[in-house]
Amino acid sequence: MRARRLAPISTGREVDRLMAFSDGVVAVAITLMALPLIDIPKPAAGEPLYTVVTNNFGQLLIFLFTFYVVAVMWRLHSRIFSEIRGYDNRLFWLNVTWLAGIVLLPWLSSLYGDTFTFGPTDSGLISAGSDDIAFLYWFLMAGISALLNFMAGHLTRNPQLLLEGVTLVVVSGPARFRGWIMAGYFAVIGLVSLISPVIAGYLPIGIFLLSILLKPKTPKTHTPMTSGATLE
């Protein structure tokens, strides 16, 4: 029986370059996300600022929501990659695909913000806007979240990629599934937006509730990462 051949691992400066490249791509994507806001017309003479805000509230709301979601995902990505000593070909392409999704977000969030409405209308107070744009936006969010889980799972199955004494483990309780639950919830919002954009407009509120319910418990004592600590 032939022994399984281990995939080549890139270590040392290659890891630093990959992390720097990833951080740079995320930073550029977040910057591009803000560019459509520059095109919002300024208040006319004698017009109060809040009129401009209310007229473009959907775009502003989607920008802020997407910005904070990307920031949270980048933080999780940073926590994962700060504990690796090397990466193989599969982890590299998972990361590149994750970055491609992040780069697509500014375009979709701009389109989604243009169609998202907030205010009294015939159909309700909130509407997710164009069903196809909303569907693509939320499924892209689901895909980005799922890719983080795939990367964490790959590292769990390949501990040789991790720093010595560091182990990726799931936490106890429902929080162990938080990554997949969030990805699934994003996908549900996308599917609902095809059926009822009005209902889909309210569903993002559940994301904040889930983030609270699935928040991992903070250990009572701190263990240095170099002595066998776990990354949650």
| pLDDT for position 95 | 96
d(CA 74, CA 31): 14
pTM above 0.85, yes or no: no
pLDDT beyond 80 at 86 = yes
What pLDDT shows up at residue 164?
79
Q: Is 49 exposed, middle or buried (0-12, 13-18, 19+ CB in 10 A)?
A: exposed
| Segment 95-122, tens digit of pLDDT | 999 999 999 998 988 888 877 666 555 5
Report the distance separating Cα 73 and Cα 61, nearest Å. 18
pLDDT tens readout for residues 108-164? 888 888 776 665 555 455 555 567 888 899 999 999 999 999 998 888 888 888 887
Q: Token pair for residue 131?
A: 């069903």
> Which segments of 71-207 are extended strands (E)?
86-87, 117-118, 126-127, 167-168
Instruction: Give the span between the Cα atoms of 153 and 135, in whole angstroms.
Output: 27
Mean pLDDT of the chain: 78
